[in-house]
Amino acid sequence: MSSNSRKPTGMKGKVHDLATTLQSQNEELSIEKGHVHSIKAGNANSSSGMQGQLNDIKRYFAADVQRMVEEFKVQQKLQEAENVRLQMQVTSLKGEKTSVHQQIIALQRRIEEIEEEIGHE
C-alpha cells in the first residue's frame, strides 16, 4: 500500500471524514439547487407548491450542513486539546533529555578526574 492511498486514522481521520462528508453534502446541495432551478423555470405557473418544496429542501440541507459543521467543530476542539497534550509531553521529554545529557557530561568529567588521580598514584 503506498503512502498516498493510506487513510488517516484517529482524530485526523475523523476530521478528514467529516470534511469529506461536508464537501459531499455541499455538492449534493448544489445539485439539488440546480434541479430546483430547472423545475422552477419549467413550472413557473405552479410556483406556490414548488416554493414550499423548495423551502423544505432548503431547511433540510441547512439543518444537515449545520449538524456537520457542529460535529466538525467538536472534532476540531478535541484535536486541539490532543495537540496541546502532545506538545506538553514533547516539552517534558526535551527537558528530560537535556537533564540526562548534563548528567552524562558530569559523569564523563568525573571519569576523567578519577583516571587522572589513578594515573598520578
- Burial class of residue 106, CB neighbours in 10 A (0-12, 13-18, 19+): exposed
Distance of CA 53 to the CA centre of its chain: 36
Q: Confirm whether pTM is higher than 0.75.
A: no
The pLDDT of residue 77 is above 80: yes
Total residue count of the chain as it appears in this document: 121
Q: For residue 2, what pLDDT is reported? A: 45
Mean pLDDT of 33-52: 74
- Most confident range, picked from 14-18, 43-47, 108-112: 108-112
